[in-house]
């Protein structure tokens, strides 16, 4: 380190570099999306806790997905909203690194929970007679805890590799939150090890789970086509198609961002793609997975009726 280099204590998040009128419009739009994210996932979480008929493995994992989506959006979006209406767009470096760590941890957890959910649907449709034994509460609890622990450990690896680097400038991040690739550009040392670990983590946490999910759904589709009852076939296909929509949005945007060749405007591309899994995906998950489900609608009516009787 040269004598004229200084350590970063805070950085400026450049965010969306647009005119002020558009910034206020984006603030209103993203505030609405964030509110819908909290409301939708909160309703799902509340219904699963209050209604005993939703105490099944599928809704158990959906409750974890709701917690992840609320946490994931709350880690990134509030700072983005504040920066849209503020001239002071700085963030201290330690909170910035913590934001990066939590963003990675929640993203990794969502990848693994989606794999577990696809396995749950695979057992339910392809091996219905063994479902109760295979997906016991003990198994479900172990799968959920393992997903959370592995994800935070992997994020911790990134954090340790971050802390070994000297960060001395520039003092600007061309993003709306402390995204890992953008933060690495602030380092004034070789980041090749970080880049290699990020790529290997993508293979482990993106390509691996995606292959497992797609493999499960190929077998599920084959099983659905063998179902004799049109109603049973329709119900199974509806559940699985909604899951595949979420998988496509989440894994697709992440793979394009971290594994595809960069475009001529990679930073602007990263911002748009980050919106998909920071804001749009958490908002859409409750709608795609749960709020259009007959079981959830019935649970909502039961909870409302119980409140009226009280």
What is the per-residue pLDDT for 67? 95
Q: Which residues neighbour 34 within 8 Å (Cβ) at sequence distance 6 or greater?
A: 73, 77, 78, 81, 279, 283
In a domain, 307, yes or no: no
Measuring CA to CA, which residue among 246, 205, 238 is closest to residue 220?
Answer: 238
Sheet holding 10-13, edge to edge: 90-92, 10-13, 172-173
In a domain, 309, yes or no: no
For the stretch 216-247, pLDDT in tens is 888 888 888 777 777 767 766 776 777 777 78
What is the dihedral angle through the alpha carbons of 74, 245, 51, 44, rounded to the nearest 10 degrees? 20
In a domain, 259, yes or no: yes
Cα 295 to the center of its chain, rounded Å: 24
- Residue-range definition of the domain harbouring residue 164: 10-302
In a domain, 3, yes or no: no
What is the per-residue pLDDT for 158? 94
In a domain, 267, yes or no: yes
Q: Which residues neighbour 253 within 8 Å (Cβ) at sequence distance 6 or greater?
A: 273, 276, 277, 281
How many structural domains does the chain have? Answer: 1
> CA 31, CA 41: separation in Å to the nearest integer?
15
For each of the chain's 310 residues, which pLDDT tens digit applies? 444 445 778 899 988 888 888 989 999 999 999 999 999 999 999 999 988 888 999 999 999 999 999 999 999 999 999 998 888 889 998 899 999 999 999 999 999 999 999 899 889 888 889 999 999 999 999 999 999 999 999 999 999 998 888 888 778 888 889 988 888 888 888 889 999 999 899 999 989 999 998 898 888 888 887 777 777 677 667 767 777 777 887 888 888 888 776 655 467 777 888 888 788 888 888 888 776 677 887 887 887 776 555 5
Query: Cα-flanking dihedrals φ and ψ of residue 38, to 5°?
Result: -65, -40
What is the per-residue pLDDT for 262? 63
DSSP per-residue letters across 208-269: HHHHHHHHHHHHHHHHHHT---HHHHHHHHHHHHHHHHHHHHHHHHHHHHHTSPP-SSHHHH
What is the per-residue pLDDT for 291? 65
Task: Return the structure tokens found at 153.
Answer: 């450990």
What is the per-residue pLDDT for 292? 67
In a domain, 4, yes or no: no
What is the per-residue pLDDT for 261? 66
> CA 289, CA 30: separation in Å to the nearest integer?
22
Residue 177 three-state SS: coil
Q: Which ranges in the chain belong to alpha helices (H)? A: 20-50, 57-84, 93-126, 131-134, 137-163, 180-184, 192-202, 208-225, 230-258, 266-275, 281-286, 294-309
In a domain, 294, yes or no: yes
CATH number, domain containing residue 44: 1.20.1070.10
What is the per-residue pLDDT for 277? 77
In a domain, 174, yes or no: yes
Measuring CA to CA, which residue among 222, 203, 199 is closest to residue 211?
Answer: 203
């Amino acid at each position: 380190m040269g004598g004229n280099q200084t350590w970063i204590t805070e950085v400026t998040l450049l965010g969306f570099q647009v005119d002020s009128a558009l910034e206020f419009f984006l603030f209103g739009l993203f505030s609405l999306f964030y509110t819908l994210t909290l409301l939708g996932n909160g309703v799902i979480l509340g219904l699963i806790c209050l209604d005993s008929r939703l105490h099944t493995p599928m809704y158990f994992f959906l409750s974890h997905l709701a917690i992840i989506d609320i946490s994931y959006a709350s880690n990134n979006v509030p700072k983005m909203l504040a920066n849209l209406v503020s001239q002071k767009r700085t963030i201290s470096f330690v909170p910035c690194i913590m934001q990066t760590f939590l963003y990675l941890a929640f993203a990794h957890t969502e990848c693994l929970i989606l794999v577990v959910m696809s396995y749950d649907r695979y057992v339910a449709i392809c091996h219905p007679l063994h479902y109760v034994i295979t997906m016991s509460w003990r198994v479900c609890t172990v799968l959920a805890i393992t997903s959370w622990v592995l994800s935070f450990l992997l994020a911790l690896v990134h954090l340790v590799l971050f802390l070994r680097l000297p960060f001395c400038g520039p003092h600007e991040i061309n993003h709306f939150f402390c995204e890992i690739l953008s933060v690495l550009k602030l380092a004034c040392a070789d980041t090749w090890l970080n880049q290699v670990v990020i790529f290997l983590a993508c293979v482990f946490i993106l390509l691996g789970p995606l292959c497992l999910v797609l493999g499960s759904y190929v077998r599920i589709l084959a099983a659905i086509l063998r179902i004799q009852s049109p109603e049973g076939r329709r119900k199974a296909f509806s559940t699985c198609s909604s899951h595949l929509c979420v998988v496509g949005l989440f894994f697709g945007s992440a793979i394009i961002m971290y594994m595809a060749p960069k475009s001529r405007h990679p930073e602007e591309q990263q911002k748009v793609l980050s919106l998909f899994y920071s804001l749009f995906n958490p908002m859409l998950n409750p709608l795609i997975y749960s709020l259009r489900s007959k079981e959830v609608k019935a649970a909502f009516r039961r909870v409302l009726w119980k409140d009226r009787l009280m």
